[in-house]
Amino acid sequence: MSVKGNVVDLLSGLAAAGPWRSTFEKVLVSFAHNYPTSRTVLSFCRHFGNKLVEREGSSFSRRAVFETGGTMLCGGERGVAQVSLMYYFLGTITGQHEDERGVAQCLRRLVREGDVFFDLGANFGFYSFYVAPLCGRSGSIHAFEANPYLIPHLRRSSELNGQCGRIRVNASAVGKESGKELPLYDPEWFGCSSLYAHKWLNRGSKVLVPLVTVDEYVHANNIDRIDVMKIDIEGAELDAFQGMEQTFHVCPPKVIICELTLLPDENDPLRQSAGVLRRASSAADPKQLTEFLRKKGYELWGIAEDGRLRAWQTEKLTSDEPLKLANAAFVLPTLHTDRPEMFTSE
C-alpha cells in the first residue's frame, strides 16, 4: 500500500472507531455524491467502507438512495457488502477505471412512466433500481442475473422499491437457447463473471446456471413492448441478441444500451498484447454486434456525459489501447421523431 493509502486507511480506522463515526459517514456520503470521481474521495470511501463492514460484520446494512428516488440495499454477505457499499457512497457507477454516469443520465432522459425496461446482466441491480421510479407502477422492470450469489441481494433490494415500481428478478443467464445449463466462470468476481472462459477469470471456479432466451421470456409473460434494454453480460451479448429473433420482429426495444469491448484493429501489434489475448476468442466483438443490430434496423450512437446521444463513427469501434470498455446506444430510427431532444451534435 502506498504512503497515501496508509494515511487514508489510518484516518478511516480512527473515524470508524470514534464517536464521530456517524457524522463522518454522512459527510463522506455527501462529498462522494458530489465528487464521485475524486481519487481521494474514492479512496476514503473504500477504506472507511471496509472498516464499517469489519466493525459491523453480518449486521452491516445501508441503503443507497439514487437521484431518481430509487434505492438499493448495501449489505448482507461480506463479499456483497464490501462491493455494494460503493453504490451507497457514490450514488452512481464511477471510479478510477469506469464512469457510467452518462448512461444513468441517458436512462433518466429516456425512461418514462409506464415504460418496460429490460436489464440483462443486472449485477447488483443499480440500473433496475435507478429506473424503477421512472417506470412507475404502470411500467415494469425485468432484471436478469446469472450469478446465484447476487440473487438474494437483488430480491431484497427489489422489495425496497415495491412502492415506486414493479421489478421482477430472474435468476438466469440470457442466451440463444433455453432449457440448458451453462457454467458461469468466477462467480465470486462480481460484475466480471462470464459464460465465456476469459483468461482473466478464475476458470477453476464455476457454477452451473440456467439459460433462457428473451423470446421465450417475452412469449411466456405476454410482453408486447420493450422500451429500453440495458445489456452487459461480459462477452455473451451476441448470444442474447440471437435469442431475440421473434422479439426483434414483434416488440423490438426502442433503445439498446450495450457495453462494448473495444480492441485494436486486427493488424495492430497491440492486438497481440497480453491484455487482448486473455479475452475468450469466441466472445463477440463490437463490429459483430454492430453489424448484427444494423441488420435489425438499429443505428449506433455514443452517449454524452449529459446522457444525450451523439454521433459515433464506425471506425471508433477499435481502440488504440489493448482493451477498452465503452457504452453505446443502439437506436431505432423512429426515436429521432419521437424523442428529438435525446440527440445532440456536440
Q: What is the pTM of this model?
A: 0.91
CATH number, span 101-342? 3.40.50.150
Inter-residue contact 298 to 268 (CB < 8 Å): no
Phi then psi for residue 18, to 5 deg, are -85, 170
CB burial class (10 A; 0-12, 13-18, 19+) of residue 184? buried
E strand segments, 226-336: 228-231, 255-262, 299-303, 309-311, 324-331
How is residue 99 written as a grid cell?
464512469
pLDDT given for residue 310 in this prediction: 93
pLDDT given for residue 131 in this prediction: 96
Domain with CATH 3.40.50.150 in the chain: 101-342
Q: Is the pLDDT of residue 195 over 80?
A: yes
pLDDT given for residue 75 in this prediction: 80
Residue range 247-262, pLDDT digits in tens:
999 999 999 999 887 7
Higher model confidence: residue 5 or residue 255?
Answer: 255
Phi then psi for residue 47, to 5 deg, are -70, -45
pLDDT given for residue 319 in this prediction: 66
For residue 22, the tally of other CB atoms under 10 A from its CB is 8
Residue range 115-156, pLDDT digits in tens:
999 999 999 999 999 999 999 999 999 999 999 999 999 999
